[in-house]
Structure 1
Amino acid sequence: MGFHEVRFPASLSFGSIGGPERLTDVVTLANGHEERNTPWQHSRRRYDAGIAMRSLDDLQTLIAFFEARRGQMHGFRWKDWADFKTGGAQAEPAFDDQVIARGDDVTPSFQLVKTYRSGEHDYARPVTKPVRGTVRIGLGGDEQQEGIHYTVDHATGVVTFLHPPNAGDAVTAGFEFDVPVRFDTDRIMVSVASFQAGDAPNIPVVEIRV
């Protein structure tokens, strides 16, 4: 199983539908109460790439991309237009968008994460596919310079400092990111006649763990 560090054409993913999926086991007890449990620590996202197809040129681009990935064989990057950056929807990433870790004088490398908060609860989502040229890192409230103070592995989302951050210093980050996905089908079924009439093909895409 391979992963190709190439993004599905963003112009074709714009307008697609999809979002996060969870897996929850719900058991109803005899007294009517429930027990709920999940084997998943992290959510998984699903999309339908077919919804965004607007022309036969789009369809040809899709088929070329599908064939180059060998169907379900190889993963690729996907831009989720509803959730692709750390800050506000209209804001550019800032170095202090997210606190991703605290220094301990020993650890030099940290995984990029995006934290979702609601009330007193939150969820930290590991980000493994940051977009090159968008990552900004801060340390102790000061922005750092890539290539001088730290490096970013854009295939894993790991940030490595030249020197381990001091104990207690907040490691912050802002960035855009893609979702690692694969096609969830090995075939594309479409009729040119029906496509011209406005019927979009069903092309499922599912997030993968990398």
Structure 2
Amino acid sequence: MAFHDIRFPAAISFESLGGPVRRTEIVTLANGYEERNTAWAHSRRRYDAGVGLRSLDDVAALMAFFEARGGQLHAFRWKDWSDFKSCLPSETTGPTDQTLGYGDGTTTTWPLIKRYVSGDFAYARPITKPVAHTVTVAVAAQPLDAGHDYTLNPDTGTITFTAAPAIGAEITAGYEFDVPVRFESDAIQMSVSSFRAGQIPSVPLIEVRL
């Protein structure tokens, strides 16, 4: 799938609607009990960037972005303002935010993940589009130097260490991240409501698997 490493205009996405979507198959048995199953290991996010009244400059920026992506053809980065950090929204990211795993003395490459914890259960979400300059990494709570101790692949969200972390050493990271999405339609509708403002009723976006 073609991917353009460019972010949807953050000022336009700020008031967007959206969030994770799951696919659960439910079969109700004759006795009233249910059997539930899902074919998706990971949720897929949907958004709508159309929030009504915009400046004509915003309308022009959206039109240019849509045309440059070829409608649904090319995916791109999207900032989900409700969930774009490895920490809580009110906090600042740090190298111990998320546990990626524990060293085995051999493995040098580790993918970024974000864990969503509730009670005794957790979901580990793959992070494939980190914001490169925000990523910090630590091993055994000791911050490391980017470029010297490790390198980051911003296209895949993987960290490669110069030397494999020691057996049992906790590997952690902090970061901001984007969501890879595409337009969900090959058409968007815009109108001019005044000499200075326009309307964008709906701009649907959907997360893509990379």
Q: TM-score, normalised by structure 1?
A: 0.96
What does residue 30 of structure 1 align with? 30
Which moves more between the two structures, 79-88 or 52-61? 52-61
Opposite residue 168 of structure 2, the aligned amino acid is G
d(CA) in 1 for partners of 2:163, 2:57: 50
Shift of 1:167: 1.0
* In 2, Cα distance between equivalents of 1:45 and 1:25: 18
Give the unaligned 5+ runs of structure 1.
Answer: none
Do the aligned partners of residues 53 and 206 (structure 1) sit closer, same or farther apart at CA in structure 2, a change above 3 Å counting?
A: farther
Equivalent in the alignment of 2:142: 142
Q: Distance in 2 between matches of 1:53 and 1:125?
A: 34
Distance 2:114 2:53 in 1: 30
Q: 1:30 to 1:139 in 2, by over 3 A?
A: same
Question: Closer, same or farther in 2 for the Cα pair 1:177/1:195, shift >3 Å?
Answer: farther
Give deviations 1:18-49, integer Å, cap 9, x for gaps. 00000000100000000000000000000001
Alpha carbons of structure 1 residues 138 and 53: separation in structure 2 relative to 1, 3 Å: farther
Match of 1:49? Answer: 49
Residue 54 of structure 1 aligns with an amino acid whose one-letter code is R
Report the Cα distance in structure 2 between the residues aligned to 1:112 and 1:21, rounded to whole angstroms: 21
- Tell me if structure 1 keeps the 8 A contact 2:192–2:199: no
8 Å contact kept, 2:56–2:198 = no
String of CA shifts for 1:126-162, please: whole Å, max 9, x gaps: 0000002100101011011101100000111000000
Structure ranking higher in strand proportion = 2
Range 199-208 or range 138-147, more displaced = 199-208
Match of 1:168 in 2: 168
Q: Summarize deviations over 1:82-116 as a string: whole Å, max 9, x none.
A: 00001121211110001011111111000000000
Contact 2:56 2:197 in 1 (8 A): no
